[in-house]
Amino acid sequence: MVALARIEPADRRTSRKMTPFVALKYHPDYATISSLVDKESKSMSVGIKPLAAMVLLEIEKAPETTAGGLLLPEEARDAMNVGRVLAVGPDAEHVAEGDRVIYRNYSGTTIEWLGIEYLLIKEEDLQAKVTN
């Protein structure tokens, strides 16, 4: 795995603030860093490897409207605990990378990395796999 250097959040040429993804483009190792992108799934390797029976999830945001066109209130959207499994620890037995799962409220540790929200959670706090 490639060791990533610290990425400065400002473009030195224009002194304007940039997001980490834009700053990444100006990093000297950009070609190496961009090779971390999985060409098939179009997702970036997070660089977090769960231990034991821990599971790393990418939290899915609930839609603002239902299939019938009704607006969902913020509280209802927050109650939908669905995520996609990005990585599993060596002792996790019931889930694999790529599974969509439902997890318990207030479980695990929330991590925000490069603007994406992740959840590091025990496998026992997962309640079901989503099949469709």
Q: What would the DSSP string read from start to end of the chain?
A: -PPPPP--SB-TTT--B--HHHHHHTSTTHHHHHTTB-TTT--B-------TTEEEEEEPPPPSB-TTSPBPPHHHHHT--EEEEEEE-TT--S--TT-EEEE-TT-SEEEEETTEEEEEEEGGGEEEEE--
pLDDT of residue 71: 87
Structural domain spans, the chain: 1-36, 54-130
pLDDT of residue 25: 53
pLDDT of residue 30: 47
CATH number attached to the domain at 54-130 = 2.30.33.40
Q: List the chain pLDDT tens, one digit each, 132 residues.
A: 455 555 555 545 544 555 555 555 555 544 444 444 444 443 446 788 999 999 999 988 878 888 888 888 887 777 678 999 999 999 999 999 999 999 998 899 999 888 888 999 999 999 999 987
Q: What is the pTM of this model?
A: 0.60
The CA-atom distances, in angstroms, between 4 and each of 28, 34, 92, 116 are: 10, 11, 28, 18
CA contacts within 13 A on the Cβ side of 125: 19
